[in-house]
Structure formats: C-alpha cells, structure tokens
Structure 1
Amino acid sequence: MLAAMEPPEPYTTGELVDNLGWPRRTVYELLSTLEERGDVRKKKPEPRRAIWIRPEDTA
C-alpha cells in the first residue's frame, strides 16, 4: 500500500482501489491500520470523504 502512495500526494480511497485493483473494504481497512500506526495521515474534508496522505518520512 505505501509503495502505491507517493509522498506527500493526497489520495482518496477510490483512487487507491483503482490503482491497486483491491476491494474497497480491504483498502479502507488497511489505510485505517496504517493511520493508527502513524504511517499515513487522514483528512476528512466532507463527512463521507477521506483523503489519505503518506508523509515524506515513511518508507
């Protein structure tokens, strides 16, 4: 997942689903786990929309 994200480019869950070809639920759950670990940041510009950002210092 992290290899599919260029820092500090923002991504929606849908973009990552399209790029990886994985099920949406799988991508969202993995992103949530990565957020808990501090590997990605999550921003919610709207109630039903999340933007995921990989900080430059994660590998």
Structure 2
Amino acid sequence: MKLFHIKRKTKLENRFSPKMGRLMTKVTYIKKYFLFLPIATLHKYRETYYGEVKMCDDCHLYI
C-alpha cells in the first residue's frame, strides 16, 4: 500500500471573467494525498471551449 499518491479530478465550476462574464468551465485539480487524505493542491487549470489549457488565476470564482 502506498502512503503518498496523486489524483487528478475534474469538476464543473462557475467562473467569472471581466471580459466574458459568467462561464461554466471544467476545472482540473491535481492533488497529493497521504493515506486517502488530501495534503496539497499541486496544480489547478481549466480547459477553454477551443481546447486551450489556461491557469485559473485569471478568472475569479463567481459569487
């Protein structure tokens, strides 16, 4: 049994961009786990409609 492992999970989130407004996008999280408990998020990115991969820092969560 491994103590540390890495999982990739994709979920649908609401995002807000000043130029485009509200958009629903798939956000992929890459997390590091220790005995099935999440320790840290290693990387977070989103895929655009055209297939480009962008960082999530340019869009804020829509509240």
Please, what TM-score do these two structures have when normalized by structure 1? 0.22
User: Who wins on radius of gyration, i.e. which is larger?
Assistant: 2
Which structure: greater strand fraction?
A: 2
Quick one: higher RCO (CA 8 Å, sep 6+), 1 or 2?
1
Which structure: greater helix fraction?
A: 1
